[in-house]
């Protein structure tokens, strides 16, 4: 009975203290595409991805009812950093759903003109509003509607303490006439949050300078789990390691308003139970404290994702090729940054086409034979397979008429035409391809079947093509598995190499594209297509994870296009639309939403690309 009364009281007091409007809520997932499009159209950084922001404590004064109910202590505001445009997962500030949706679009426009190096929050947001309204006058009416609706929700300055009242009046004036107030009066407490502006103190992730030296880092996990973890970023600070022999301090528990816990986590050797526990704690903490320790954890085993033994690995063809890498912060290429190691499957046995692909391969071969140039007679040849009767009759008639004519060009020869086209398909063989897409197939199985059918289809057209796979473990080595060279015929040996592919390590996509650009550039053809097959965005153990990898890949694609190549990406990443337009352009990629369809759709996609 006591628990039931408590639950009823909690629901009642929470409902009375809540000032939001859940019935008119708009979720980020509903407008994410429109928001991303507007942000980039208004000049926002194309490399930024739209993601959900986390709630942070605002420190403003709350009503007595809100303090009793324990609500409105945190607020979710928008901000941007080097990798993401972070927007509230749900907006329910206003009683009208249309206004909540307009707030999403307004925040995207404001973030598009915001400076990365923020100074004074109060002044910077006013300046950003002025810039948006000057550049895009059509947004002025939308902004005024949002301001009027928001001012009705703000506290009455007459009921606030003197210092807070002055700050509230200045803030309202700045909202009505942005740029008219140059200073926010000091007050004992911060003003109530302003959802129309960007975050006053956005959380910053902890920058770990030792990322390059991190020896661990397990394989890429489930993509949905990674996306969820990205949304759980918290404030971080580096602290001294707590001493284990400091003793016990007793406190009155009613004086504790916040809680924290120090968790000894070695990034290179955490075990599953501790990892789950640490992640659960991270969800509840506003600030994470991280300390360095030279001590080894007791009673643990340390495993490293290392390369296989040479006897069990593919055969290395040569010691490597050094390639540059783009540093987006310096805006410069770092010479000899990555080492490409070409490899060939040493134990691959010649194989027939897998039986489960036989029917599909037969149908695709029949379709692709229509793309092959028709065989035609080439007449008036100096030699050939047969006599050209027309040329011979003209020759005989001219000789009979007494004309001095040459006896050359009296033969004909059957020849097939040729498409002036060459294609290189590079498949991502990172560790994430070891994940299951259904009860029967992994991503690597789908990629393997796709390579089989792709090769079968192109062999029917006679087009020259090459196949290779790639994965990396930091910048040295970037492993490139050669499956088919351009001059090799497609046969049982090639099928054996394709069957031997297996998940590798990480996805240093820029280095792979530069390698593909180099070998494809050596081929003489009117059109050279660089086809990239992947299941995720660029990543690696070092700083290549995040913005560095995105920018390096984009630069590699631009370099490929400058040499006359046509890069195109085929991905099964559900979030590919977030970053691929920035990398390949709006017409330079396609997202396959059902991975099981990739083997059938890849050859047909090639036919569409080369049929232009």
Residue-wise pLDDT tens digits, 238-291: 556 555 555 544 444 444 444 455 555 544 444 444 545 555 556 555 566 666
For residue 328, being part of any structural domain is answered with: no
End-to-end CA distance of the chain: 74
Statement to judge: residues 167 and 63 lie in one domain: yes
What is the predicted pLDDT for the residue at 118? Answer: 63
Is 18 inside any structural domain? Answer: yes
Q: Give the pLDDT of residue 392.
A: 80
Q: Is residue 327 part of a domain?
A: no
Q: What is the SS3 assignment for 213?
A: helix
Give domain status of residue 542, yes or no. Answer: yes
Q: Which helix (H) or strand (E) holds 460?
A: helix 443-461
Residue in 459, 594, 600, 610 with CA at minimum distance from that of residue 531:
610
Mark whether 236 and 157 lie in a shared domain: no
Report yes or no: 293 and 241 within 8 Å, Cβ to Cβ.
yes
Residues 521 and 589 in one domain: yes
Which structure tokens are listed for 356? 């489960």
List phi, psi (to 5°) of 467.
-130, 140
CB atoms within 10 A of CB 547: 19
- Residue 536 within any structural domain of the chain: yes
Q: For residue 430, which phi and psi values (nearest 5 degrees)? A: -70, 170
* Alpha-carbon separation of residue 282 from 193, 285, 290 (angstroms): 25, 5, 12
Q: Cβ distance 109 to 136 under 8 Å?
A: yes
Residue with tokens 């709350």: 62
- CATH number, domain at 528? 3.40.50.410
What is the count of structural domains for the chain? 4
| 67, 20: one domain | yes
Run means of pLDDT, 10 residues per run, the chain, 612 residues: 67 66 90 90 86 85 69 84 89 92 94 79 92 92 93 87 90 92 89 91 60 40 46 54 52 48 47 50 60 55 50 76 92 93 89 92 86 64 78 84 79 68 94 89 94 92 92 92 93 94 93 95 90 92 88 95 94 89 92 91 88 60
Q: Rounded CA gap, 242 and 173, in Å? A: 48
Instruction: Characterise 75 by phi-psi region: left (phi > 0), alpha (psi -120 to 50), beta (else).
Output: beta
Residues 473 and 601 grouped into a single domain:
yes
In a domain, 316, yes or no: no
Please check whether residues 362 and 481 belong to one and the same domain. Answer: yes
**What is the enclosing helix (H) or strand (E) of 380?**
strand 375-381
Residue 128: C-alpha distances to residues 136, 498, 548 (Å): 12, 54, 27
In this structure, the answer to whether residues 271 and 171 fall within a common structural domain is no
CA angle 326, 506, 581 (to 5 degrees): 55
State whether 519 and 576 are in the same domain: yes
Same domain, 550 and 599: yes
Tell which of 360, 385, 416 closes a domain.
416
Q: Give me 589's structure tokens.
A: 């990629």
The strand pairing partners of 236, in sequence order, are: 288
Q: With respect to residue 194, please indicate whether it lies within any of the assigned structural domains.
A: no
pLDDT at 316: 87
| Residue pLDDT, tens place only, 16-55 | 666 778 899 999 999 998 999 899 889 888 888 888 988 8
Give the range of the structural domain holding residue 271, as residue numbers without chain letter.
224-240+259-298
Domain boundary among 298, 313, 346: 298
If asked whether residues 271 and 127 sit together in one domain, one would say no
- Asked whether the CA dihedral 391, 396, 402, 404 is positive or negative, the reply is positive
DSSP class of 581:
H
Residues 429, 408 within the same domain: no
- DSSP per position, 505-570: SBB-HHHHHHHHHHHHHTS--SEEEEEEEESS--B-SSTTTTHHHHHHHHHHHHHHHHTT-EEEEE
Cα dihedral 436→457→593→561 (10° resolution)? 110
**Rounded distance between C-alpha atoms, residue 497 and residue 485, angstroms:** 12
Sign of the C-alpha dihedral computed for residues 37, 38, 42 and 48 taken in this order:
negative
* Cα 434 to Cα 429: distance, rounded to the nearest angstrom: 9
Q: Which two tokens stand for residue 517?
A: 């650009």
| Rounded CA separation 507/549 (Å) | 9
Closest CA to 275 of 229, 233, 244: 229
Q: Are residues 406 and 472 in the same domain?
A: no
72: left (phi over 0), alpha (psi -120 to 50) or beta: left
Among left, alpha and beta (phi > 0; psi -120 to 50; other), residue 564 is left
Q: Provide the token pair at 605.
A: 């996609």
Chain centroid to CA 216: 22
């Amino acid at each position: 009975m006591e628990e039931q009364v408590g639950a009823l009281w909690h629901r009642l007091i929470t409902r009375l203290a809540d000032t939001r409007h859940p019935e008119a809520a708009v979720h980020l997932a509903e407008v994410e595409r429109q928001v991303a499009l507007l942000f980039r159209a208004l000049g926002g950084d194309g490399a930024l991805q739209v993601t959900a922001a986390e709630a942070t404590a605002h420190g403003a004064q709350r009503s007595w009812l809100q303090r009793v109910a324990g609500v409105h202590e945190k607020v979710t505001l928008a901000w941007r950093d080097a990798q993401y445009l972070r927007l509230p997962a749900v907006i329910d500030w206003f009683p009208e759903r249309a206004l909540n949706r307009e707030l999403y679009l307004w925040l995207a426009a404001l973030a598009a003109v915001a400076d990365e190096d923020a100074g004074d929050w109060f002044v910077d947001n006013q300046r950003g509003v002025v810039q948006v309204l000057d550049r895009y006058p059509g947004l002025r009416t939308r902004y005024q509607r949002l301001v009027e609706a928001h001012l009705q929700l703000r506290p009455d300055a007459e009921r606030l303490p003197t210092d807070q009242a002055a700050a509230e009046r200045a803030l309202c004036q700045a909202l009505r006439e942005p740029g008219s107030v140059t200073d926010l009066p000091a007050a004992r407490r911060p003003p109530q949050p302003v959802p129309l502006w960007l975050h006053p103190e956005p959380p910053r992730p902890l920058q770990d300078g030792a990322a390059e030296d991190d020896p661990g880092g397990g394989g890429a996990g489930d993509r949905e789990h990674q996306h969820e973890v990205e949304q759980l970023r918290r404030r971080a600070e580096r602290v001294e390691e707590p001493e284990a022999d400091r003793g016990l301090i007793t406190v009155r528990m009613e004086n504790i308003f916040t809680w924290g816990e120090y968790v000894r986590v070695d990034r290179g050797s955490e075990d599953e139970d501790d990892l789950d526990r640490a992640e659960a704690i991270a969800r509840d903490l506003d600030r994470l404290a991280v300390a360095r320790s030279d001590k080894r954890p007791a009673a643990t085993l340390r495993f490293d994702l290392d390369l296989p033994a040479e006897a069990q690995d593919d055969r290395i063809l040569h010691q490597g090729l050094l390639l540059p890498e783009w540093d987006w912060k310096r805006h410069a290429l770092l010479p000899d940054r990555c080492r490409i190691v070409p490899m060939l499957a040493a134990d691959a046995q010649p194989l027939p086409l897998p039986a489960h692909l036989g029917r599909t391969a037969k149908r695709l071969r029949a379709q692709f034979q229509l793309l092959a140039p028709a065989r035609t007679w080439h007449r008036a040849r100096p030699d050939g397979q047969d006599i050209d009767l027309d040329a011979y009759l003209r020759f005989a008639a001219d000789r009979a008429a007494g004309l001095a004519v040459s006896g050359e060009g009296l033969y004909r020869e059957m020849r097939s035409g040729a498409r002036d086209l060459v294609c290189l398909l590079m498949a991502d063989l990172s560790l994430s391809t070891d994940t299951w897409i259904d009860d029967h197939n992994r991503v690597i199985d789908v990629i393997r079947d796709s390579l089989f059918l792709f090769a079968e289809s192109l062999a029917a057209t006679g087009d020259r093509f090459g196949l290779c796979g790639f994965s990396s473990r930091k910048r040295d080595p970037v492993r490139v598995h050669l499956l088919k060279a351009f001059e090799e015929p497609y046969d049982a040996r090639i099928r054996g190499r394709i069957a031997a592919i297996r998940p590798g390590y990480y996805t240093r996509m820029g280095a792979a594209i530069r390698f593909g650009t180099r070998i494809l550039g050596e081929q003489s053809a009117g059109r050279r297509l660089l086809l990239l097959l992947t299941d995720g965005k660029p990543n690696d153990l070092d700083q290549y994870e995040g913005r560095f990898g995105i920018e390096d890949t984009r630069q590699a694609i631009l370099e490929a296009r400058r040499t006359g190549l046509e890069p195109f990406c085929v991905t099964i990443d559900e979030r590919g639309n977030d970053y691929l337009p920035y990398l390949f352009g709006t017409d330079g990629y396609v997202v396959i939403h059902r991975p099981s369809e990739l083997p059938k759709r890849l050859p047909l996609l090639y036919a569409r690309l080369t049929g232009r």
